[in-house]
Amino acid sequence: MKEETLKPEKKMLRLRYQNQLKKLADMVVDMGELSIVTVRESVNALKKQDVEQAQRVIEIEKKVDDLEFEIERICMELLALQQPMAEDLRFIVTCLKIITDIDRISDYSGDIAEIAIKTAGKPFFKPLIDIPRMSEIAQGMIRKSLDAFIARRVDNLMKLSEDDDLVDGLFEQIFRELITLVIEKPSGISDAAYLLFIARYLERIADHSCNLAARIYYMVTGKRVKIK
């Protein structure tokens, strides 16, 4: 009889636990979605020289920070109270890890937005052709990682290495072009530096996207891979 009366309670506890895991997954996805928005909108603000749009990116970045703290709290609570095993443990630990990369992505986007504010109204030192392309590729990399996280499928994650190579190539191209232009026009070194910083931030965003992919690959398969 005593065992019988405990069964419904155990079922409720299990259901609550599963709901907490789902909430955790949803929050991580929301955080990732916001990071994509910050990457897209920071570069759009730069292109349009739109100060208000850049300020909105900084506000979204703060929301990402808040989500990171809340997700971390939930993860720690689940680890302490539920003592998860196997796949659930890998899932929770992965969430703890990838929110750091997602936060760094939004931080870099915030840095781009701040440069957009500082340079608003000034002519670009060189046309913004490669920087928007870097942004598009980086957004796609984050999207592929989030899709893998949601579907628990890793089929396309290793291909992120190719995307990362494209971003690295664009960064090197921008670096060479800026060096050449600065030699021709030394007075533009400050403006060139801003563009180089932005390109570097986007290159780092791509690197963090690779980190996301590698951690999600481990979450799904239990195998460690390097995606770079």
In a domain, 12, yes or no: yes
Q: What is the pLDDT of residues 30-83, one digit of tens each?
A: 999 999 999 999 999 999 999 999 999 999 999 999 999 999 999 999 998 878
Q: What is the pLDDT of residues 195-218, one digit of tens each?
A: 999 999 999 999 999 999 999 999
In a domain, 227, yes or no: no
Give the mean pLDDT of 83-108. 94
Tell me which residue range forms the domain holding 103. Answer: 2-221
Token pair, residue 214, equals 């590698």
The reported pLDDT for the residue numbered 39 is 98
The reported pLDDT for the residue numbered 188 is 86
Distance CA 133, CA 39 (A): 12
The amino acid sitting at 85 is: M
Residue 48: CA count within 13 A, CB half-sphere = 12
CA-wise closest residue to 37 among 70, 63, 1: 63
In a domain, 123, yes or no: yes
Lowest mean pLDDT among 13-27, 55-69, 106-120, 153-167: 13-27
Q: In CATH, what number is assigned to the domain containing residue 13?
A: 1.20.58.220
In a domain, 191, yes or no: yes
Of all residues in the chain, the percent with pLDDT exceeding 90 is 83
Distance CA 17, CA 192 (A): 52
Give the mean pLDDT of 174-193. 93
pTM comes to 0.92
Give the pLDDT band (50/70/90) at residue 3: very low
In a domain, 127, yes or no: yes
Q: Max alpha carbon distance in the chain (Å)? A: 88
Give the mean pLDDT of 10-17. 76
- Indicate if the pLDDT at residue 1 is higher than 60: no
The amino acid sitting at 30 is: D
Token pair, residue 124, equals 């670009």
Number of domains in the chain: 1
Which SS3 state, helix, strand or coil, does residue 154 take?
coil
Query: Residue written as tokens 């195998």?
Result: 223
Give the pLDDT band (50/70/90) at residue 180: very high
CB 208 within 8 A of CB 104: yes
Summary mean pLDDT of the chain: 93
The reported pLDDT for the residue numbered 199 is 98
- Indicate if the pLDDT at residue 6 is higher than 70: no
Distance CA 103, CA 188 (A): 32
In a domain, 228, yes or no: no
The reported pLDDT for the residue numbered 9 is 67
In a domain, 185, yes or no: yes
- Which position has the higher pLDDT, 128 or 5? 128
